[in-house]
Amino acid sequence: MSPRSAHSPREKSWANWNGWPVVILTLATLLRVLHIWNSRHNPTFWAPAVDPAWYDDAAMNILSGHWGPFPLFRAPLYPALLAAVYGIFGHDLVAARLLNVALQGVTIWAVWRIGRRFLSPAVGILAAALLAVNGTAVYFANEILSTSLEMLAAALGLWATLRLTHDRGLPAVLLCGLAWGLAALVRPNYLILFPVILIAVLAFRAPLSLRTAGLALLVWLAGAFAPILPVTAANVFRGGEFVLIATQGGVNFWIGNNPESTGALSVLPGYGNMWRMEDAEREAERELGHPPRPGELSNFYYDKGWSFLAENPWQSLRFMIRKTLLFFNRFEISNNKHILHFAALSPWLPPLLWLNFGLLVPFALLGIWTAWRTHAAKLLLGLAAVYTISVVLFFVTARFRMPAVPWLSLLAAAGMIWIVERLRRRTRSREWLPLLALIAGVVLTHMNPWGLREAPTGWARYMEGNAHLKLGNLDSARVAFMDAYREGQTLLYTQLNLGVISYREGKYAEARRWYELALEENPRSDHAWNNLGIIAEAEGDTARAIECYQRALELRPAADDPRHNLAGIFFRRGVQALHEGRDSAAVASLEDVLRLTPTAITFYDLALAHGRLNHPADAVRCLDSALARDPYLAPARALKEQLRNFPEAFPTGGASVPDRD
């Protein structure tokens, strides 16, 4: 790219029009708001699931004053910002999405300013326009995810770093560090960019003496870790573990680097892509011999992932190459939701999805070649390359790539403007050599040796069925699940949910049939066994219910539902026996409860039973356990005081009201 001073007056006349930012931002806002408007009739809009549900819950917890639990599982800046929006507008899912529109609007404005100042006015306008009409960015504006804030953090970090080419003072260095520190609190992947930024800090302020270089590095690090260290301190003092920002990384590293991984799907060995966090915790507990704490769990899976890579060097190399090629491919890899299906809620949006990596990467390669003399191009290449590594080390999905889009938009715009300039000047053929980079980029982004294709729409209908079920729309949920069932997608979970609908409608025989079909699909489904137990319990067959719950727990010992349900049966048996004076039977049932879910009220009832059986030591031990779990349990406190004054006195009747249904 030629220096800005070399641009023709003709370019300056159109590129310096002050109305461009208004036009571009208006277009960007219109596209995003229109897609949000079109999506509002879909049930997933009102019933977030998977990661959007996590962010929504985290924001509501923050709003109610409950930060954590510590150490944090995910980076905290986006949930905190979302909580602020909820604090102003209430729990408004439309406002949550309009926050994304605002964040992307600021990102587009920042990209325009960066391009204008550090490349050329034309590049700034075109880069902002490319981001404004980027279909994938429009799609993610409608998702309650940190993606939009991650893109803004990438743009602001770039701006703060490039400012050092003009403002070499230490306050500018401090601001640059602060920008990247905040970025790491949005997406910890940005931590891996710190060496690139430090090199840029020194290069952009050269020549420097050893003393001034060291001072600049210290100032930058102070700015970067100023927002990070309070989070680290909270993790240490409130969570009891040294975790720099969040604990999510270890599990993500393992699911992206294991013998069953595809590099594109979240796959936990033995559980496929429908795993739950308790599955990962249970596997770690089995190998460690004790329940791991969150930081320990993360470190455990980091170790497993690195061990897999080290023990399989050639497979790992091929794996990393594959993930790198997937990162740059035009294909958008869905993660939480079926991107193409939900983008099509706005009929005009699917064609705009092609304006993401399939367009940006080829022209960005051309832009790197033609603008290499500029500080901006060198920094953009370094950021994009290292960020790519940070994603490839884990696994590739569409939203993990989005932070690189503002950078690629600038480079792509530079490449496009170079072509326009050459066409205008009627350049000689040998000066078109940089087009080789463009051709290579087209090949890179459009190759498909893996047979990539969008998942069947049955997956999307399954998700819509879940949303309808969550919202209580049973008829609509059944229609959606039947669509998924006919396509043969997620058969096990579709059958389970169809059974849930039948159960809620009181059609127990129909529900049982769906659960039995689910067991035919997967005899090791703890969900199916648990739900069969619920049916048996509803029909009064307690023995069959116990058998089903126990079978579910054999298959998945960490499963909460069958544990809770089985404990509920034993608890009610124990309380009934206590009321009827069958104290030995009460002890047996209540001890069964404690083996499943120790609670204060169960320990209290067991103390009553032991007291009646003249086991005072056991009774006192149970009371102490009850009060250790709930110091304010009034019956236990009263009985403990009574025993202190009258050691031989135990009540002969009455028991707690069952706390389970």
Give the residue from 249, 398, 387, 276 showing the smallest Cα distance to 336.
398
CA pair distance 63, 42, nearest whole angstrom = 27
| Average predicted confidence (pLDDT) for the chain | 89
DSSP letter (8 states) at residue 274: S
Q: Are 652 and 579 in contact (CB under 8 A)?
A: no
CA pair distance 44, 464, nearest whole angstrom = 6
Rounded mean pLDDT, 518-522 = 87
Collapsing DSSP states into helix, strand and coil, what is residue 329?
coil
- pLDDT tops 50 at residue 5: no
Query: Given this model, what pLDDT does residue 273 score?
Result: 67
> Residue 423 CB: number of other CB atoms within 10 A?
9
pLDDT digits (tens, 9 = 90+) for 594-630: 999 889 899 988 888 888 888 888 888 888 899 888 8
Answer with the residue of higher pLDDT: 524 or 590.
590
Answer with the residue of higher pLDDT: 406 or 646.
406
Most confident of 137-151, 546-560, 642-656: 137-151
- pLDDT tops 90 at residue 434: no
Q: Per mean pLDDT, which range of 306-315, 380-389, 648-657 is the poorest?
A: 648-657
Cis? peptide before 71, omega within 30° of 0: yes
Q: Are 495 and 514 in contact (CB under 8 A)?
A: yes
Answer with the residue of higher pLDDT: 358 or 614.
358
Give the residues across from 268 on adjacent strands: 272
CA pair distance 80, 83, nearest whole angstrom = 5
Question: Please, what is the Cα angle at 409 between 406 and 412, to 5 degrees?
Answer: 155
Burial 318-345 (b: 16+ CB within 10 A, else e): ebbebbbbbbbbbbbbbbbbbbbbbbbb
Domains and CATH numbers, the chain: 4-232+331-446 (no CATH), 457-558 (1.25.40.10), 564-645 (1.25.40.10)
Rounded mean pLDDT, 296-316 = 92
Give the residues across from 272 on adjacent strands: 268
CA pair distance 539, 521, nearest whole angstrom = 25
Share of the chain above pLDDT 90, in %: 60
Rounded mean pLDDT, 96-117 = 96
Q: Are 422 and 432 in contact (CB under 8 A)?
A: yes
- pLDDT tops 70 at residue 569: yes
CA pair distance 332, 326, nearest whole angstrom = 9
| Band (649; pLDDT cuts 50, 70, 90) | low
Distances (CA, A) of 201 to 108, 170, 205, 212: 24, 10, 6, 12
**Both tokens assigned to 147:** 């993606």
Collapsing DSSP states into helix, strand and coil, what is residue 252?
helix
Query: Given this model, what pLDDT does residue 29 score?
Result: 97
| Band (3; pLDDT cuts 50, 70, 90) | very low
Q: Per mean pLDDT, which range of 219-223, 227-231, 350-354, 647-651 is the poorest?
A: 647-651
Query: Given this model, what pLDDT does residue 76 score?
Result: 96
Query: Given this model, what pLDDT does residue 167 score?
Result: 86
Give the residue from 518, 458, 454 showing the smallest Cα distance to 487.
458
